[in-house]
Amino acid sequence: MGDMNEGGSTKKFLYLNRKAPYGTVYALESLEVVLIAAAFEQDVSLAFIDDGVYQIIQGQDTTGIGMKNFSPTFNALGDYDINKLYVEKESLDERGLTEDDLMPLVYEDEDDDWAEKPSIRVVSRAEMADLMQDQDVILSF
């Protein structure tokens, strides 16, 4: 993939997830972009706001709607060195959710003897705005 990353530059990419996991295909296809992006050695973060927070809640069961439950894929992100998942607190609050409702997503920190650490960071709306301000590329799905 070397020639795809012309000049070897690294940019900060933020994948902004705003939609519920089912009902439309945006969430699933967003995750597909994230998995491809992992191969490009960019600085990747994910953010979950609005109904997007439902994408990473625990105990998803899609048997009643005939859709594939793709939430287990989020567990694999740590293995792709994608370990910055920001969740907006206000979006959780507005939906009666707390951090305990979210999947316990973790990664192994190679700089700390592969200690298992949480990937999810709950941030305020103001902090989310700062995070967005700090990015080079935001892909909003």
Number of residues that bind other proteins (CB under 8 A): 23
| Residue 36 beta carbon to other proteins: minimum distance, rounded to whole angstroms | 4
Find the part of the chain contacting other proteins (CB under 8 A) among 23-31, 57-65, 82-90, 101-109. Answer: 23-31
For residue 17, the SS3 value is strand
Which helix (H) or strand (E) covers residue 46, if one does? strand 43-48
C-beta of 40 vs 114, nearer to other proteins: 40
- Residue at 27: amino acid letter: A
Residue with tokens 């920001």, as numbered in its chain: 86
Query: Binding other proteins by CB under 8 A: which of 11, 99, 104, 115?
Result: 11
Contacts of 53 (CB under 8 A, 6+ apart): 87, 88, 91, 92, 95, 97, 102
**Residues in touch with other proteins (CB under 8 A):** 1, 4-6, 9, 11, 13, 25-26, 29, 32-33, 36-37, 39-40, 42, 136-141
